């Protein structure tokens, strides 16, 4: 991990997308979880809400930041975060071109599902001072190894 062209973007208070540098994770323990699409049923109803609900439990286990990443643009991720009312508990990060997920091998082609050629796999990773300590990638629909409960069990 580190500052690179693969760093995701998020919106600042002025509504202008800004870089979320992975350099900001130095010295921190961070959970990054990836979803195939904002507002999609499993992502919206299960994956994101569980991280929001279990944020305090994650913080008690030493997690400094929780980041949700998707191959949507920064404006969509901002709107999704506002709509789900995750406030500052979950950073809503956009990987619009799929650079981060492609660089980490966490991309998938969902053309057959009508969602596009570059989408994020459903995953979660725990990054401790820039080192990946856990990664759970879903092999079938649903949230099991990438959910907040699975991450908590690994901390």
Task: Retrieve residue 27's tokens.
Answer: 């010295």
d(CA 58, CA 110): 31
- Angstrom distance (rounded) from CA 137 to CA 152: 15
Helices and strands of the chain, counted as H and E runs: 6, 9
- 3-class SS of residue 75: helix
Q: Which of 32, 38, 43, 127 is catalytic?
A: 43
Q: What are 127's strand-pairing partners? A: 30, 132
Q: Is the dihedral of CA 92, 12, 65, 56 positive or negative?
A: negative
Say whether 43 is catalytic. yes
Question: Residue 104 class from Cβ within 10 Å (0-12 exposed, 13-18 middle, 19+ buried)?
Answer: buried
Number of neighbours of residue 91 by Cβ within 10 angstroms: 19
What residues act catalytically? 43
């Amino acid at each position: 991990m580190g500052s690179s062209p693969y760093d995701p973007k998020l919106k600042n208070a002025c509504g202008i997308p800004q870089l979320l540098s992975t350099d900001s994770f130095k010295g921190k323990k961070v959970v990054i979880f990836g979803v195939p699409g904002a507002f999609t049923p499993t992502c919206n109803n299960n994956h994101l809400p569980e991280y929001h609900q279990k944020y305090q439990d994650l913080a008690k286990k030493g997690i400094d930041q929780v980041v949700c990443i998707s191959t949507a643009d920064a404006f969509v991720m901002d709107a999704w975060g506002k709509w789900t009312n995750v406030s500052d508990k979950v950073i809503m990060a956009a990987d619009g071109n799929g650079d981060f997920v492609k660089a980490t091998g966490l991309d998938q082609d969902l053309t057959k599902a009508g969602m596009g050629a570059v989408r994020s796999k459903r995953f979660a990773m725990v990054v401790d001072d820039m080192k990946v300590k856990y990664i759970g990638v879903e092999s079938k629909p649903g949230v099991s190894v990438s959910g907040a409960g699975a991450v908590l069990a690994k901390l």
